[in-house]
């Protein structure tokens, strides 16, 4: 059966792959982003009804993070607008072990619409499509939380789970906790990427305070420094988030993608051999 599906964040790390997966299954997809027509802008609720018009289902990836102030109100507003537009099902991308995100999950779960919650661990792609790309390119990665054992997950797996959830009713009312197949420390990540691409990458442990100061010196806005501080301390520092789950396999019937495979696929794109971009 063909559905009309709005993919909010449909040009982003997970959303782009959700769009591809749905199109492969002959679904009618509309991208929800500021650059699409009709545009979807989280900060302008007036844009939401047009983006939601005629849609049966919605994939929600909130930008920048469900933990930030204002996210709860945005999810409340979007859920109400989706209901008013006749949407039948919501699939929410959430963060594993983020207490703030759980309040947003509750809004979706109590909406009266069909829903699936996809709680993801930290993404592999943070090292190739996000804030950790630049240090990899510079050959020097300085990070706090050296003891954190992180079950990094691939955005391809998150998207594949989201596509399944959007298409099949057996996932209604379910919460999936999506991780990769093993944990890695930041130092192990850097060692594996360095070995995978044959480049020297130095790893330095810094305290959270030093890391915050580094961000400040680099001109990172204060609210983003707050967010990173929260994500490092609260999310990575929580032992409950250092556990591997088998939810990817449960939903997809195949094991989660290993970090080594992510490195091989990413290395082939050349992203780790480019000059350092002006801004990432």
Ligand X SMILES: NC(=O)c1ccc[n+]([C@@H]2O[C@H](COP(=O)([O-])OP(=O)(O)OC[C@H]3O[C@@H](n4cnc5c(N)ncnc54)[C@H](OP(=O)(O)O)[C@@H]3O)[C@@H](O)[C@H]2O)c1
Minimum separation from the CB atom of position 26 to ligand X (A) = 22
Q: Coil, helix or strand for 218?
A: coil
Minimum separation from the CB atom of position 162 to ligand X (A) = 10
9 binds ligand X (CB under 6 A): yes
184 DSSP assignment: B
13 binds ligand X (CB under 6 A): yes
Backbone φ and ψ of 28, nearest 5°: -85, 115
Return the range that interacts with ligand X (CB under 6 A); candidates 33-41, 160-168, 193-201, 222-230.
Answer: 33-41
Which of 6, 40, 136, 272 lies at the binding interface for ligand X (CB under 6 A)?
40
Residues 62-81 that bind ligand X (CB under 6 A): 62-63, 65-66
93 binds ligand X (CB under 6 A): yes
43 binds ligand X (CB under 6 A): yes
Minimum separation from the CB atom of position 198 to ligand X (A) = 26
Return the range that interacts with ligand X (CB under 6 A); candidates 32-40, 190-198, 200-208, 238-246.
Answer: 32-40
- For ligand X, the nearest residue by Cβ is 12
Distance CA 29, CA 57 (A): 10
Minimum separation from the CB atom of position 256 to ligand X (A) = 14
Q: Which residue has the tokens 């994500």?
A: 231
**205 bridge partner residues:** 143
Which of 48, 59, 115, 123 lies at the binding interface for ligand X (CB under 6 A)?
123
**Cis (ω within 30 of 0) for the bond into 38?**
yes
List strand residue ranges (DSSP E) for the chain, in order: 4-8, 28-32, 57-60, 89-95, 114-120, 140-143, 174-178, 202-205
Question: How is 106-173 classified by DSSP, letter by letter?
Answer: HHHHTSSSEEEEEEE--BGGGGTSSTTHHHHHHTEEEES-TT--B--B-HHHHHHHHHHHHH-GGGTT
Which CB, 118 or 201, lies closer to ligand X? 118
Distance CA 16, CA 109 (A): 24
By rule CB under 6 A, what count of residues binds ligand X? Answer: 25
Rounded to a whole number of angstroms, the CA Rg of the chain reads 19
Which of 2, 24, 26, 35 lies at the binding interface for ligand X (CB under 6 A)?
35
Minimum separation from the CB atom of position 62 to ligand X (A) = 4
228 binds ligand X (CB under 6 A): no
Distance CA 4, CA 22 (A): 10
156 binds ligand X (CB under 6 A): no
Minimum separation from the CB atom of position 105 to ligand X (A) = 11
237 DSSP assignment: T
**Cis (ω within 30 of 0) for the bond into 223?**
no
Return the range that interacts with ligand X (CB under 6 A); candidates 11-19, 187-195, 240-248, 249-257.
Answer: 11-19
61 binds ligand X (CB under 6 A): yes
Which residues of this protein are in contact with ligand X, per CB under 6 A?
Answer: 9-15, 33-35, 40-43, 61-63, 65-66, 93, 95, 120, 122-123, 126
């Amino acid at each position: 059966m063909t559905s009309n599906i709005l993919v909010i964040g449909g040009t982003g790390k997970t959303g782009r792959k959700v769009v591809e997966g749905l199109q492969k299954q002959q679904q009618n997809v509309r991208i929800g982003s500021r650059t699409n027509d009709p545009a979807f802008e989280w900060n302008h609720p007036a844009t939401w009804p047009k983006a939601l018009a005629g849609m049966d289902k919605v994939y929600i990836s909130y930008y920048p993070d469900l933990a930030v102030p204002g996210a709860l109100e945005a999810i409340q507003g979007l859920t109400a607008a989706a209901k008013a537009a006749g949407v039948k099902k919501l699939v929410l991308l959430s963060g594993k072990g983020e207490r703030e995100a759980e309040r947003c999950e509750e809004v979706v779960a109590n909406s009266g619409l069909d829903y699936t919650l996809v709680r993801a661990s930290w993404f592999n792609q943070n090292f190739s499509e996000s804030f950790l790309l630049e240090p990899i390119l510079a050959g020097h990665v300085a990070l706090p939380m050296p003891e954190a054992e992180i079950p990094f997950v691939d955005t391809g797996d998150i998207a594949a789970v989201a596509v399944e959830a959007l298409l099949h009713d057996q996932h209604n009312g379910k919460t999936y906790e999506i991780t990769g197949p093993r944990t890695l420390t930041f130092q192990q990540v850097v060692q594996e990427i360095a070995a995978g691409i044959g480049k020297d990458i130095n790893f330095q442990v810094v305290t959270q305070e030093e890391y915050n100061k580094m961000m400040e010196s680099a001109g990172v806005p204060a609210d983003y420094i707050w967010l990173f501080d929260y994500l490092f301390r609260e999310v990575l520092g929580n032992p409950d988030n250092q556990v591997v789950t088998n939810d990817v396999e449960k939903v997809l019937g195949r094991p989660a993608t290993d970090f080594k495979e992510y490195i091989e696929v990413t290395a082939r794109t050349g992203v780790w051999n480019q000059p350092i971009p002006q801004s990432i």
